[in-house]
Amino acid sequence: MADATSKPAAAVAAEATVVPIILAVSFCHMLNDIMQSMISAIYPMLKTDYALDFWQIGILTLAFQCTASLLQPVIGIITDKKPFPYSLPVGMGSTFIGLFMLAGSHSYAMLVIAASLIGIGSAVFHPEASRVARLASGGRYGFAQATFQVGGNFGQSIGPLLAAFIIVPNGQGSVAWFSVGAMLGIVVLAWVARWYRTHMLANKGRKRVLNAHSLSKRTVVVALAILTILTFSKNAYMASISSYYTFFVMERFDVTVQQSQVMLFIFLGAVALGTVIGGPIGDRFGSKVVIWFSILGVLPFTLAMPYANLPVTIALSAIIGFIMASSFPAIVVMAQELVPGRVGMIAGIFFGIAFGIGGIAAAVLGVFADHYGITFVYTVCSFLPVLGLLTVFLPGKKALRVA
């Protein structure tokens, strides 16, 4: 990007951390992910009401996540050059419209369109909200990114519970009730946008302050490729949980839809808790340490889950969610350190990759589930964390320090 100067890390850390803004974008991340989780949370109901096959469930996930993944990098690149603070409430408006369409849909095609609109809302929200969190971090990038991310994790964990106790008993039309959350998000993001715009005006004309590193271009490219593979490992496994975990436990243990949603809440709640803890650890010990532990460390538990009984499955899912959670904020922070000055682009690319991989994986896993069964899907996916071994090739905390 334009003019940039290096600045010691201590000086960056000395800048004020604007906690209210970080909490505001985290809160809106929670609202955003509660609403987008409505899609996967009502899959069992939609499958019955519309007589859908598993591959059609996968296409719904693909429509949402690929809409988000394809647009996020584009939005990130554009806003790196020219930020649009008020794009945040506009994006939430797309989610608002998508919710109403999802509530009133009477055909599979309308469900796909509604899912796509909610995906567009997420595509606009994530890169810009991630940028705001970093601007307000005061140099505490791990803390800011984890706090921002935990809002989404918490929203994803609450969504299935709300679906189980509100939507399942009251039907598809009750999805419209969640539009109140979208309206609240629009109001809060309008306030955040005003702070964002004021921050831009206050710093207009000043040289950009960047944390530079002395890594070669080849090292940076290899590291980014590895981070992409690790994102694939995490999100492909997470797709197997978020899209098909309810079907897995219903088929294997004969639990009800509501019980399966509670079990999904336990997993996603553990994800939220793990994200909170992972951020400060990343600030203290570096992103590489967090990535090592959160991806490779989960392998014994993923390998055991397809063969466990019901109580052990619940416990293993919580352990997996807790350990795996902190990897993504650490991956985003490391990628932003590798490519200083491209905060929006990197956030857009990695959030986009995460959504895209999740969508493609959901569709592919749906085909496998139709042909070979849900248990087979979980057995295959249990080996994905082996890719965490590639973390050994990532630069450490010292290598990423200011040159």
Tokens of 397: 């905390």
CB 136 within 8 A of CB 149: no
Closest CA to 192 of 139, 151, 143: 151
Q: How confident is the model at residue 287 (pLDDT cuts 50, 70, 90)?
A: confident
- Residue 206: pLDDT band (50, 70, 90) is low
Q: Please give the pLDDT value at position 362.
A: 74
In terms of average pLDDT, the best of 167-171, 174-178, 188-192, 346-350 is: 188-192
Q: Quick: pLDDT tens for 105-131.
A: 888 999 999 989 998 998 889 888 988
pLDDT at 2: 38
Q: Which residue has the higher pLDDT, 213 or 333?
A: 333
Separation CA 283–CA 105 (nearest Å) = 45
Q: Round to whole Å and give the CA distance between 363 and 62.
A: 6
Name the residue ranges covered by the structural domains of the chain: 8-393
The pLDDT of residue 211 is 55
* Exposure class string for 128-161: b at 16+ Cβ within 10 A, else e: bbbbbbbbbbbbbbbbbbbbbbbbbbbbbbbbbb
Helix (H) or strand (E) holding 154: helix 141-162
What pLDDT shows up at residue 359?
Answer: 66
- Looking at every residue in the chain, the average pLDDT score rounds to 82
Alpha carbon 273 to chain centroid distance?
A: 14
The answer to whether the predicted template modeling score (pTM) of the entire model surpasses 0.85 is no
At residue 88 the predicted structure's pLDDT band, cuts being 50, 70 and 90, is very high
Spatial distance between the Cα atoms of 279 and 134, rounded to a whole number of angstroms: 13
The answer to which of 127-141, 250-264, 278-292, 299-313 has the lowest mean pLDDT is 278-292
The CATH homologous superfamily for domain 8-393 is MFS general substrate transporter like domains (1.20.1250.20)
Joined tokens for residue 368: 């496998």
Residue 197: what are its φ and ψ, rounded to 5°?
A: -65, -40
Phi, psi dihedral angles at 207 (to 5 degrees): -65, 145
Any bridge partners for residue 384, and if so which?
Answer: none
Structure tokens at 153: 């994790």
For residue 61, what are the CA distances in angstroms to 189, 231, 308? 26, 18, 27
pLDDT of residue 222: 92
259 or 400, which is more confident: 259
How many C-beta neighbours within 10 Å does residue 234 have? 26
